[in-house]
Amino acid sequence: MHRATAGFISASAIAIAVVGLAFLVAPRACEGGLELYVWCGGTALLVLLALPFAAHIGRSILVRVVWALGFVVLGAGAWFAGLFTANVRFICGLGYL
């Protein structure tokens, strides 16, 4: 398996893991689950940002930067998709939630 292929598979796995984590933390969102989801999402975005450079996707730095930004957009989209699909409560303590 080439390093670029491993990079793409890793990016997909990270995005799927972020969405899956949303379903795990949703029942406990107001007891620290939301904070865990935010921290894990931020870590996933940093890993996705560095992934094209570590996996040597593309030959030039410009191509790697474009791939890194694309991976970050993928990760942010997965984060928001998980947030709203799993119905993670992010407004806690108002009394009616």
Percentage of the chain beyond pLDDT 90 is 67
| Cα 33 to Cα 7: distance, rounded to the nearest angstrom | 29
Confidence of residue 15 (pLDDT cuts 50, 70, 90): very high
For residues 44 and 49, give the distance between their C-alpha atoms in angstroms, rounded to a whole number: 8
- Integer angstrom CA distances of residue 23 from 5, 26, 27, 40, 84: 28, 5, 8, 13, 10
What separation in angstroms does the CA of 35 have from each of 9, 48, 66, 68, 89? 27, 20, 29, 25, 11
Task: Tell me what pLDDT residue 36 has.
Answer: 93
Q: Give the model's pLDDT for residue 93.
A: 65
pLDDT at 33: 87
